[in-house]
Structures are given as structure tokens and as C-alpha cells.
Chains A and B, each alone.
Chain A
């Protein structure tokens, strides 16, 4: 079974994000970039499926500037077999990402597509769902467990109040939630091997897709600073403030 995994290059989760002075976006100069954490989980799940003998080939795809090859190389070091980079310096919104991935799906014909449920930069949580719709596949989103069973995949989803398991006919799209697995580290021997794994670069035009962003960013600003706390002198003052100022009791 062939598995397609999409990974995105984003600002490192641990970096303190700074807004550009002109409020047009987030400052990316000299900022550490890394693979989106949910995409790391997607790669790990694919590698585990391969280790179990369920998956036979893992193809990893990333959309973005040339530097996003670094994240593809990371995925290859973690166990993916080959990479496809869709190179563009333009802004890629969810629908365009889904269209580009749909074109790759048409070409590669994977049985399972695994994506992160969302990227930590734009936080849209749309691409997986849009891709499933465009490709006419079933979708199992927010997965906390993925079990392939013959020509079906059972996806356990984390929902409010508990877990729901959906059975999907393959081919299908799965998006990963945090508790699906704990991604491994890239081992040094595998990083060296990954350098020799094939990585093909294509443009959106090669895939027959014209990027057409539909949303315009008006303004990006930091959340308001939290006001400092106050000290109260007595229990009665505390109760008074909780009642009349905070209005919580």
C-alpha cells in the first residue's frame, strides 16, 4: 500500500513569534523553521505503518519555497522513501494546497493520505477536509488511532466528550491529532541515507494548478498584553471583587 504524507515548513514551535512592525505579518527573518508538529505525527504514523508491513512505500510532499526541502529531507530521514517538492514562493492558502495535493494524489494514486490536522502558523484546519472532498475520498480527521484492515481503515477521532471511530473505505484521507503517536528523532545514519533518496521538484504549473488566494490579510497584531494581578487585603474584599468586578460569583 502506498501512503502519501504532506508536511509543511513552519516557524519552530518554540520560537517566540514577533509581529512585523507594519502589521502585515509575522517576522520570518533569521527565525528557526521546522516541520509542523502535526505533520511530524503524520510522518511517524506512516513510518509505523511501514514497519508493521502495512505500507510498502511512503511518498512525502511539501509545498513551499526551496528551503522546504529541509523538511522533506527530515521526513526521508525518519523513514519516508521519496520526496516531491512543489516549489513556490507565493502564499499558498488551504484550497490551493488541497488542489496541489489532489494533483499529486491523481498522479501517485496512494491508498492512504496522511496530513496534520492543521499547521501551527495559519491554524486553518482545512486542507485535509478540502483534499478529501476534491479527491472524492472519505476522511477521518483528528485521528488518535489509525488501524488499516484490508481495504478499510478505522480511524478513532477525538471529539468533545469522548472518542468516535469511523470506518473508511480506502483510499482515504486521515488527519492527525496530538495523541496519535510520539514522533521519533531522526537518527544520524538515516540522515545520511536520506541524502541519497530521490527528491523531485515540480512547480504548481507542472501540476496544472494556478494559485489563486481568496483571502487578503488585513492586519496581524499581537494579542493584548494581560493586565497584572492585584493584591487584596481581606477575604471580604476578595469576595466583593469576585462578585462585582470579575462577576464570577
Chain B
């Protein structure tokens, strides 16, 4: 191995991609070196923009030769610092691998480069009379490669599952520099280990996904949203059970009154009804007929009679559907100015109320002046715990105190056999806590797998775990 000066390395790197596709200006380094987490100082060596799988392969070979770390970069909307480059790594941005390559109407699949933006895929599906159901607040900027590397979930998981469930095939460049075509887009392919699923959720630590064949499905029919005011957090589960017994929901979300107040203060939407409730549930279903709607009304009536629900509204148009969704989807944006400490945790659905009550009590006891904002995809057991920084407290002090909160929260997670990261991944933010969810023996196996695909530890080094 020859040690080169950084300038020399950058010159070498430039030869691997199209002209002008390596950037080292301060703005680019600061921008492409980070994601939505604001904790780590970005410090990449350079940003490289490949256009093809072959160019990615050349970059990986180059990284192995010079023992350089590579950090994959998509829409950089991650919340676990999985795409942060703070150790002089080379950032591999997929911004120029944003082509939809092929569409197969009979298979209902679409072949995409990794840099295709989620919304671009959703729009493409819609133009072709189909539907890509994975959806979340950052769909307008997040990229498919990042979605798959973090196995993104979002707001439709209760009906459609996670990103993983929509992958028919993958092209990856492994850490050793091999190109693998995984699963060949087959529906049925029982030929041993399905490596596709190792790369999904691996946060780029085994290799980089460069192309993916995604499955599409039929468009939902007349989606309709109910927003219900609940008397108590445990009622979220009563309402969910009542509705699920007789109808399929496409989404089931919850948020606290405080969360909604922040969205309303942020502007662009208003409270659904006058009655105040401590928690709200948002249900979405396909109102395919008048009978279906009547059924929903009957279920609502039952929930009111049981004393679980105080009031509720229903969307009467797409505009109202979007405004009601905004109450839930606008939360992250509206609390961002308060530098929130965020946790994305999950347990099995039946344990949600006990779990939430326990964490709420612990945080309130130790930090009575912290404002706690709860929301999440409660229909699949996923809660987003947000604690807002009191204005008077310095950022460093706040995050230091939050580390203590982490420990308490994760101990409760462990006791309930939950996950310390339901859908945000591990990245840098959660790696110290991995063993609250994964046993030491299991983590040793994970490291063994990493060794097989990326022996020189060049692929997103230091993410998920340290070797």
C-alpha cells in the first residue's frame, strides 16, 4: 500500500468517474458529510458522484487499495447518522444515479438506480396506474438506496410492510468489490441463503446497493382518514383492535396533544375538532363503498360508547385527507427548531400502552422541565419519543442529559423485548446501545458477516458497530 497525500488521492479518484464528479469545496463537504442528525461534525475527504455500477465498483476497489473509508449518501434524511462522514471518509453520493431504468407491467416491477427519490418512484407508479406503498414524511428527498439500506418503514407499514417487502431484486457492489445480482427479480427462488436481505438494512456496511427492482401494487381505492380524540393512551389499542376486527387499515398513527399543538403553531393546518384530547389516533382505510363507510361509523360509535373516544372527524376530500395527515406528518418538521432528542423504539403491539406509560413516567420523574412529544406508527408497535430542549439549556448539556435518558429508556425496551431502533437504523447514534436489542453472541455473528463481505472495513466503517 502506498500512502498518498490527500491531493494525490483526490486526483486518482477523479479518474474513476465522469468529469466534475468529485467535489471538495467546503459547502459540498459540509452538506454531503451529514444527514438530519445534528450531532456530528462532517469531515469528509471528498464527495464522489458515480453514474454507473461500474464506477461504484472502481471506487470500492480504490478504497480497498488505499484503505479509505466510504460513506454512502442518498437523500441524507437519516436520523441515526448512518450517512455521516466525520472521519475523513470519501462520500459516495448517488445523486446522479437517479434513473428509472425499466418498467415491467406484467411483473408489476420497476428497475431503479439507487439514487431514485422515493417520491419519483411513487409518481412513476401512479403514472402507470400502480402504487408504491412505502411512504414517509421525507419521501420528497429520501432515495431508494438509503430506504433499502435502512429498511425504511413509514406510515403504511400496518398494511404494506417495510421497504424490504417490496424488493424483487438487487444489484450490489460488495466491500470486496464484487458485483452481485441478487434474487434476479424472482417471486419464488428457494436456492439457499437470500443475500438480498443481508444488504437491506445493512446501512451500507457490507456493500452498496446500486440498483433495485421494486415491486408495485394496485392503487388504493378512495383512501379516507379518521382522526379520533382519545381519552387515554391505552385507548389507542382498544380502538385499533375494534377496527381491525372488521376492516383492513392502511395506516394507524397516534400523536399527543402537545405534538399537534406544535404542528398547528407551525402553520398550514388547524385542529380537527374543538374538544381537547390528550392523544389522537389517525386511521386510514379504503372507503370502497357506502357500506364500508357506514361500518366505520358504527365502529366509531362503539368506541364512543365504550368511553375510549371523545370526538372524531373524517376526510371528505383529498384536500382534507392531506390536511389531516399533515397533523401527523408535520410533527418532525414543527419540533425541529427545538433541537429534539429523538428515539425510535418498538415493541410488539400488545405491549405498547404499558411500555409507553413506563417510559413517560421515568422521563417525567427525572426531567420534569423537559417537554415530551410522543407520536408514532402505533399500529405496528413503533413509537417516536421526542424530548425538546428547554430554550435555556445549552445543546451539549441537553444531549449529555439525554444520554442518561437513553439508558433508562433502553433498559425498559430490553425488558419488554423491544427494539432500540424500529426504523431509523443504528448508524453512529445507536451503536453503543445495540446490545439492548441484539445479544453479544448475535453481534459476534454480525461482525463475522461483515468480515466476509468487507474484509478491509472500507464500507461505511464504524456504523452499526465497531469491529
Please list the residues of chain A having a beta carbon within 8 angstroms of any beta carbon in chain B. Answer: 12-15, 32, 34-35, 37, 74, 182, 184-189, 191-192
Contact = CB atoms under 8 A, between A and B. Distances in A.
A185 B319 contact: no
A213 B313 CA distance: 39
Contact of B318 (A32, A74, A185): A32
A191 B304 CA distance: 14
A188 B316 contact: no
B324 interface: yes
Given A32-B222, A182-B270, A192-B297, A187 B313 contact: yes
B166 interface: no
Interface in B203-223: 222
A133 to B, nearest CB: 31
A60 B445 CA distance: 68
Interface string B314-325: 111111111010
A15 B317 CA distance: 10
Given A14-B322, A184-B273, A185-B320, 13 more contacts: A12-B319, A13-B317, A13-B319, A15-B318, A37-B319, A74-B316, A185-B272, A185-B316, A185-B324, A186-B316, A188-B297, A188-B311, A188-B314
B312 interface: yes
Nearest to A13: B319
B312 A188 contact: yes
A70 to B, nearest CB: 9
Contacts of B315: 185
27 contacts: A13-B317, A13-B318, A13-B319, A14-B319, A14-B321, A14-B322, A32-B318, A34-B317, A34-B318, A34-B319, A37-B319, A185-B227, A185-B313, A185-B314, A185-B315, A185-B320, A185-B324, A186-B313, A186-B314, A187-B273, A188-B226, A188-B228, A188-B297, A188-B312, A188-B313, A188-B314, A192-B301
Contacts of B226: 188
In the complex, which range does the number of interface residues on chain B fall in?
A: 20 to 34
A193 B179 CA distance: 63
B317 A187 contact: no
Contacts of B270: 182
Chain B CB within 10 Å — which of A15, A182, A185 has the most?
A185
Contacts of B280: none
A14 B301 CA distance: 30
Contacts of A186: 313-314, 316
Contacts of A191: 297, 314
Interface of B: 222, 226-228, 270, 272-273, 297, 300-301, 304, 311-322, 324
Contacts of A37: 319
Q: Is the interface of A mostly helix, strand, loop or mixed?
A: mixed
A3 B47 CA distance: 65
A186 B324 CA distance: 12
A185 B312 CA distance: 9
B297 A187 contact: no
Contact of A189 (B311, B317, B320, B322): B311
A186 B228 CA distance: 12
A68 B160 CA distance: 33
A13 B322 CA distance: 11
Contacts of B222: 32
A14 B317 CA distance: 8
A185 B301 CA distance: 18
B310 to A, nearest CB: 10
Contacts of A15: 318
Nearest to A71: B316
B154 to A, nearest CB: 20
Given A14-B322, A187-B311, A191-B297, A34 B316 contact: yes
A88 B315 CA distance: 27
A160 B317 CA distance: 31
Contacts of A189: 304, 311-312
B317 A188 contact: no
Contacts of B312: 187-189
A53 to B, nearest CB: 18
A187 B322 CA distance: 16
Nearest to B300: A188
A187 to B, nearest CB: 5
Nearest to B228: A188
A72 to B, nearest CB: 12
Contacts of B273: 184-185, 187
Contact of B316 (A14, A35, A182, A192): A35
Interface centre among A13, A74, A184, A188 (most CB of B within 10 A): A188
A188 B311 CA distance: 7
B317 A35 contact: yes
A123 B270 CA distance: 28
B131 to A, nearest CB: 14
A74 B313 CA distance: 12
Contacts of A187: 273, 311-313
A37 B320 CA distance: 11
The 6 A-B pairs of least Cβ separation, nearest first, read A34-B317, A14-B318, A185-B313, A188-B312, A12-B318, A188-B300
A7 to B, nearest CB: 11
Contacts of B314: 185-186, 188, 191
B129 to A, nearest CB: 10
Most buried by A among B304, B314, B317, B318: B317
Contact of B317 (A32, A182, A192): A32
A13 to B, nearest CB: 5
Most chain-A Cβ atoms within 10 A of its Cβ — which of B226, B273, B313?
B313
A127 to B, nearest CB: 21
Contacts of B304: 189
Contacts of A14: 317-319, 321-322
A192 B222 CA distance: 20
B322 to A, nearest CB: 7
